[in-house]
């Protein structure tokens, strides 16, 4: 018999339609026959009970919001009838949950690029990064020219990263731009980096060079366009040298404990919470058990499930840091 719905958690008071459901159809959930009052698209929720206004909708075993109005059993309930329970800053209580995943640690490796400072990249790319948006045009030309000249052979990509910052920025705004650019330049996926400056921006090249700290001067080069006669020719000269060094890099076996993975939302739909998300959760549990690192990169993606993460924090201090992270984003 074809499965028409999925009840994710025994405590749920809604189910997810696996395929399009039509008004008048019946579904049997936990022995109860429910007649649909309206069409319900695949991936959307069907009410298992009559909801009073303000009553919580439970999915995944947790409240995902509350009903804006009374909703009868067998109806399609969506964003038009549900309001989030998130409202400003919340006081959270630490209720630690002990999770014994019983995942054995294995002697596994991956092929990575070991950098001079010990960091490991999973890609080997040539990057062109501007300190200021005024040079976006030339960095694009340089990247395209190097791609045409080399066909990108021997490296994973040749990339320019234009942005609109670096000029007329002050205070924390300016500092945040510098931090982001620094972290990109020092990223282990970059086998070589050309930093392109105009020369008159707030983010002055000499100051920014000091801000980078200890970096591989063989793999990170600067060009100030106002100090060269032909920025295209000079840029290509430097890039050819950087490309040759990156092209010579080879992958080596690296312990899985050194792998760091960032998880990025790919565009959520009604099924991602029961397909991709659990899969990535299982992958993250396995990777962390091997000593590796899995990073949730979008704080809003945690909203609604933040208490699950908070209660899995190992210590009260880590719990408080997570609360601070969530409330600060609001």
Residue 41 has, within 13 A of its CA and on its CB side, a CA count of 5
Domain-embedded: residue 227: yes
pLDDT score of 68: 96
Q: Are residues 210 and 324 in the same domain?
A: no
pLDDT score of 2: 66
Domain-embedded: residue 218: yes
User: CA 124, CA 113: separation in Å to the nearest integer?
Assistant: 7
How confident is the prediction along the chain (330 residues), in pLDDT tens digits per residue? 568 999 999 999 999 999 999 999 999 999 999 999 999 999 999 999 999 999 999 998 888 899 999 999 999 999 999 998 877 677 889 999 888 888 999 999 999 999 999 999 999 999 999 999 999 999 999 999 999 999 999 999 999 999 999 888 888 989 999 999 999 999 999 999 999 999 888 888 888 999 999 999 999 999 999 999 999 999 999 999 999 999 999 999 999 999 999 988 776 777 888 888 889 999 999 999 999 999 988 888 788 778 888 998 989 999 999 999 988 887
Find the CATH number of the domain harbouring 17: 2.30.130.110
pLDDT score of 1: 52
Q: Among 250, 282, 308, which residue terminates a domain? A: 250
User: What total number of domains does the chain contain?
Assistant: 3
User: CA 320, CA 309: separation in Å to the nearest integer?
Assistant: 12
Domain-embedded: residue 114: no
pLDDT score of 182: 97
Q: Are residues 266 and 227 in the same domain?
A: no
Domain-embedded: residue 64: yes
Q: Are residues 153 and 266 in the same domain?
A: no
Q: Are residues 162 and 226 in the same domain?
A: yes
Q: Among 27, 56, 83, which residue terminates a domain? A: 83
Domain-embedded: residue 103: no
Domain that holds residue 214: 125-250
Find the CATH number of the domain harbouring 149: 3.40.50.2300
Domain-embedded: residue 239: yes
User: CA 221, CA 198: separation in Å to the nearest integer?
Assistant: 14
Q: Are residues 148 and 197 in the same domain?
A: yes
Q: Are residues 262 and 237 in the same domain?
A: no
Q: Are residues 210 and 318 in the same domain?
A: no
Q: Are residues 33 and 76 in the same domain?
A: yes
- 3 state SS of 227: helix
Domain-embedded: residue 88: no
Q: Are residues 273 and 321 in the same domain?
A: yes
Domain-embedded: residue 95: no
To the question of pTM greater than 0.75 for the whole model, the response is yes
Q: Among 83, 105, 134, which residue terminates a domain? A: 83
């Amino acid at each position: 018999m074809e499965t028409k719905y999925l009840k994710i958690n025994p405590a749920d008071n809604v189910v997810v339609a696996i395929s399009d459901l039509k008004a008048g159809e019946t579904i049997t959930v936990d022995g109860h026959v429910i007649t649909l009052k309206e069409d319900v698209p695949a991936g959307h929720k069907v009410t298992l009970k009559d909801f009073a206004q303000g009553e919580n909708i439970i999915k995944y075993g947790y409240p995902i919001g509350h009903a804006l109005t009374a909703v009868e059993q067998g109806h399609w309930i969506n964003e038009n009838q549900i309001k989030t329970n998130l409202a400003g800053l919340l006081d959270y209580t630490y209720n630690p949950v002990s999770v014994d995943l019983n995942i054995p640690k294995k002697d596994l490796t991956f092929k990575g690029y070991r950098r001079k400072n010990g960091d490991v990249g999973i890609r080997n790319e040539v990057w062109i990064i501007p300190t200021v948006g005024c040079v976006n045009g030339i960095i694009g030309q340089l990247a395209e020219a190097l791609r045409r000249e080399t066909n990108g052979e021997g490296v994973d990509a040749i990339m320019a990263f234009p942005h609109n910052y670096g000029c007329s920025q002050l205070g924390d705004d300016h500092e945040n731009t510098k931090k982001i650019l620094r972290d990109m330049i020092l990223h282990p996926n970059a086998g070589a980096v050309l930093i392109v400056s105009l020369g008159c921006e707030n983010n002055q090249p000499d100051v920014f060079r000091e801000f980078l700290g200890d970096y591989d001067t063989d793999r990170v080069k600067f060009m100030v366009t106002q100090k060269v006669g032909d920025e295209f020719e000079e840029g290509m000269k430097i890039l050819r040298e950087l490309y040759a060094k990156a092209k010579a890099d080879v992958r080596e076996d690296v312990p899985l404990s050194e792998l760091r993975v960032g998880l990025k939302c790919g565009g959520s739909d009604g099924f991602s919470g029961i397909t991709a998300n659990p899969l990535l959760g299982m992958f993250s549990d396995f990777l962390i058990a091997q000593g590796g690192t899995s990073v949730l990169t979008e704080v809003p993606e945690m909203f609604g499930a933040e208490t699950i993460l908070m209660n899995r924090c190992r210590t009260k201090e880590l719990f408080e840091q997570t609360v601070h992270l969530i409330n600060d984003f609001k």
